Amino acid sequence: MESLLTTPFLTALLAGSLAAGLPLLLAGLGEQMSEKAGVLNIGLEGMMLLGAYCGFLGAWSSGSLWLGFLCGMLGGLALALPMMLLCVWLGLNQIVVGIALTLSAEGLTALLHHVQFSQSYPRLPRVDTLPLPLLSEIPVLGTALFDRHPLVYLAILAVPLLAWLYRSSLLGLNLQAAGDRPAALDAAGISVIATRSLAVLFTGAMAGLGGAYLATVGAGLFVPFMTSGAGFIAIVLAMLGRGRPLWVLLGALLFGLCLSLTTALQVAGLRVPTDLVQMLPFAAVMLLLLFFGRRAALPAALTRPYRRGER
């Protein structure tokens, strides 16, 4: 067992959890804003997938990773637009539309990928990292945490920024009101529809960015269905986060840790079934809920479309 605490093992574990957790963090932060504003975005998985496809294509054809990220965000936005139109403006059922969007993204990306590349999966060149001066020279922690792609730092910076937005800004309060008591927001003269639309679009862009990171920096290639449930995990993270971005970060890291544990254990020469390790984070959360009975408090108006004058 002493072989477990070697430098390569710990580095692989930490680096892996950050790499696996980052798409979850980005998408989870996005979903959190939608949920705060009262829109449950079940289409998150589809938005990530379309973001992954567009992000990969952008980076592959232009050679620039940042253009790829932009394309990924646009891809996520493209799927968030119908969500906004159908669920926020027209008030259609959010669960039906969300599932439909996920299905369409799964189908479309697989179809387009097949038409373009048939059965081949072109790879992107290895991504350069941006080592932070001094910090990256700490053993183990340094290489694992401070020698990453710049987007990683930006994503982590977004956590305190969003926390500030929710707690101390007018927009944050409006978002909260749109989810808790939309009629009050309306009475205060602020459009519920506009507030919710903004939140849904933000979710789409963040999910798309998360997907793009997954495909470009994470895997370096696009495979159909490559998000494999990450979007749903991000929805769970956002709900468990109870409106706090920091909790989403912690949750994303915990999930990332469990996802990368298998690889890290193999580095250490231990064979543990992948399936077992993948169960860990969910089992942990379920046990936590069971023993502490923690209410995953959700906005009162979640999944309810707003119609003026309706009780």
Binding residues (CB under 8 A) for other proteins: these are: 40, 82, 86, 90-93, 95-97, 99-104, 106-108, 110-111, 114-115, 224, 229, 232-233, 235-236, 239-240, 273, 275-276, 278-279, 282-283, 285-286, 289-290, 293-296, 298, 309
In whole angstroms, the minimum distance from the beta carbon of 274 to other proteins comes to 8
d(CA 292, CA 245): 21
Q: Which tokens in the block code for residue 111?
A: 């179809």
In whole angstroms, the minimum distance from the beta carbon of 135 to other proteins comes to 35
In whole angstroms, the minimum distance from the beta carbon of 102 to other proteins comes to 8
Q: Minimal CA–CA distance to 81: which of 182, 208, 238?
A: 208
Query: Given the complex with other proteins, which of 171 and 286 has the nearer CB atom?
Result: 286
3-state secondary structure of 107: helix
In whole angstroms, the minimum distance from the beta carbon of 232 to other proteins comes to 6
Across 55-82, b (16+ Cβ under 10 Å) vs e yields bbbbbbeeeebeebbbbbbbbbbbbbee
In whole angstroms, the minimum distance from the beta carbon of 183 to other proteins comes to 16
Q: Which tokens in the block code for residue 54?
A: 């567009």
Query: Given the complex with other proteins, which of 62 and 116 has the nearer CB atom?
Result: 116
Query: Given the complex with other proteins, which of 44 and 206 has the nearer CB atom?
Result: 44
Query: Given the complex with other proteins, which of 40 and 209 has the nearer CB atom?
Result: 40
3-state secondary structure of 118: coil
Query: Given the complex with other proteins, which of 92 and 193 has the nearer CB atom?
Result: 92
Strands (DSSP E) found in 167-272: none
Residue 27: count of CB within 10 angstroms of its CB: 37
